[in-house]
Amino acid sequence: MSTRFDGKVVLITGGAGAIAAATARAFTDRGATVVLAGRDPDALATAAAAVHTPGNAETDWLTADVTDSTQLAAAVAEVVRRHSGLHVAVNNAGIFAPFSPLADLDEKLWHTTLDVNLTGVFLSMKHEIAHMREHGGGTIVNISSNIGAHRRLRGTAAYTAAKAAVSALTRAAALDHIADGIRITAVSPGATDTPMSMAPGETPADRDARIAAATPAGRIGTPAEVAAAILWLASDDASYIVGHDLVIDGGTSA
| Residues marked as catalytic | 159
Residues 6+ apart with CB under 8 A from 238: 183, 185, 232
Could you tell me how many residues make up the chain?
A: 254
Element at 53 (helix H, strand E): none
What are the angstrom distances between the C-alpha of 87 and each of 33, 64, 136? 10, 19, 9
Quick one: three-class SS letters along 99-150? CECHHHCCHHHHHHHHHHHHHHHHHHHHHHHHHHHHCCCEEEEEECCCECCC
204: number of Cβ within 10 Å: 12
Q: Strand ranges (DSSP E) for the chain?
A: 9-12, 33-38, 59-63, 88-91, 138-143, 182-189, 245-248
Give helix 69-83 / helix 120-134 axis angle, nearest 10°: 40
